């Protein structure tokens, strides 16, 4: 069973209340046992072409699908549907069942990375700050700039890394499994970013730290998202940044 299917298998079903596909972020609201929950995911899009088939063939009817059926759209070859599926998964994941660790991903990388080999997959605002604070820093990006490397370099640089930080967007494009498999058994593995599924299932795959997001003001976030908000704006509108730590989770259960 793949990492993705393992996570979906752990989820309850729910009623889809609302689906919003914004310029930068996608949100799905579900109802589970009378409670509303909202999940986020980065909006992935292909280049727009009026003459091609629709990016979202089910547009206007997505709320009619059972939540777990939307979650299965993670396997779609249409990027916006994979974003919807990830947001649905994040909405279905339990909230508040575990104590969130008070850890900041940047601080973890900085403290653990002193004198060590660090690989970051994805563009994070702290990347440049970390360059002078860890032993060696390699950044992999889909569209690399400067000293950054393309994602195709992953098999060459990840196996030798002491710390690997992976963007949650790799869950949407279904490359997370492969990247985790490339990591050394002794590597500290972090999944981070608002799209990250805060699922302890990932701990079974060797992940040590999950840094993601929890929506605390559904109306405010939906309103901002629908008007093209970036994540900083969504954060202010009602998103809490949280971290789930494997060690803390293991000791709590």
Could you read off the pLDDT of 45-93 as tens digits, one per residue? 876 555 566 777 677 788 999 999 999 999 998 999 999 999 999 999 9
Structural domain including 138 reads 105-215+238-252
pLDDT tens, residue by residue, 210-219: 999 999 999 9
pLDDT digit string (tens) for 84-128?
A: 999 999 999 987 656 677 677 888 899 899 999 999 999 998 998
Mark whether 113 and 199 lie in a shared domain.
yes
Nearest to 199 by CA among 25, 54, 74: 74
Q: Distances in Å between the alpha carbon of 159 and those of 54, 70, 108, 182, 187?
A: 39, 34, 20, 6, 9
Q: Please, are residues 32 and 46 in contact by the beta-carbon 8 Å criterion?
A: no
Does one domain contain both 78 and 110?
no
| pLDDT surpasses 90 at 250 | no
Does the residue 224 lie in any domain? no
Residue 232 is assigned to a structural domain of this protein: no
Query: Which of 36, 62, 92 is where one domain is finished?
Result: 92
State residue 252's pLDDT score. 65
Asked if 242 and 127 sit in the same domain, the reply is yes
Do 129 and 187 belong together in one domain?
yes
Lowest mean pLDDT among 22-26, 128-132, 158-162, 235-239: 128-132
On whether residue 225 sits in a domain, the answer given is no
> What does the pLDDT read at residue 96?
65
Same domain, 41 and 116: no
Tell me, what's the pLDDT at 34? 94
- In this structure, the answer to whether residues 80 and 133 fall within a common structural domain is no
How many folded domains does the chain comprise? Answer: 2
Q: Per the domain annotation, does 13 fall within a domain?
A: yes
Same domain, 174 and 121: yes
From the list 156, 226, 220, 166, the residue with the least C-alpha distance to 197 is 166
Give the CATH number for residue 147: 3.40.50.11590
Q: 191 and 121 in one domain?
A: yes
pLDDT digits (tens, 9 = 90+) for 7-20: 999 999 999 999 99
Residues 140 and 245 in one domain: yes
Task: Give the per-residue pLDDT at 59.
Answer: 78
| Domain limit, last residue, from 92, 123, 145 | 92
In this structure, the number of other CB atoms found within 10 A of the CB of residue 17 comes to: 16
Contacts of residue 248, defined as CB under 8 A and 6 or more positions apart, other chains included, come to 99, 101
Instruction: State pLDDT tens for residues 130-185.
Output: 999 999 999 999 888 888 999 999 999 999 999 999 999 999 999 999 999 999 99
229 in a structural domain: no
């Amino acid at each position: 069973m793949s990492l993705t299917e393992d996570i979906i298998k752990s989820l309850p079903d729910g009623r889809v209340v609302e689906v919003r596909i914004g310029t930068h972020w996608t949100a799905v609201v579900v109802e589970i046992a009378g409670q509303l929950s909202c999940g986020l995911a980065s909006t992935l899009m292909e280049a727009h072409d009026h003459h091609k088939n629709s990016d979202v063939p089910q547009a206007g009817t997505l709320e009619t699908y059972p939540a777990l059926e939307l979650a299965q759209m993670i396997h779609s070859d249409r990027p916006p549907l994979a974003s919807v599926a990830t947001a649905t998964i994040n909405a279905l994941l339990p909230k508040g069942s575990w104590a969130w660790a008070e850890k900041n991903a940047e601080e973890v990388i900085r403290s653990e990375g002193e004198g060590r080999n660090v690989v970051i997959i994805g563009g994070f605002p702290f990347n440049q700050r970390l360059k002078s604070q860890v032993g060696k820093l390699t950044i992999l990006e889909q569209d690399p700039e400067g000293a950054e490397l393309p994602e195709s370099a992953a098999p060459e640089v990840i196996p030798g890394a002491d710390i690997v930080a992976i963007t949650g967007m790799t869950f949407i494009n279904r490359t997370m499994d492969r990247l985790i498999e490339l990591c050394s058994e002794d590597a500290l593995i972090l999944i981070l970013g608002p799209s990250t599924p805060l699922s302890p299932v990932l701990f079974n795959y060797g992940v040590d730290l999950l840094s993601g997001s929890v929506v605390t003001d559904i109306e405010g976030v939906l309103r901002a998202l629908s008007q093209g908000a970036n994540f900083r704006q969504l954060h202010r509108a009602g998103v809490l940044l949280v971290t789930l730590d494997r060690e803390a989770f293991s000791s709590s259960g």
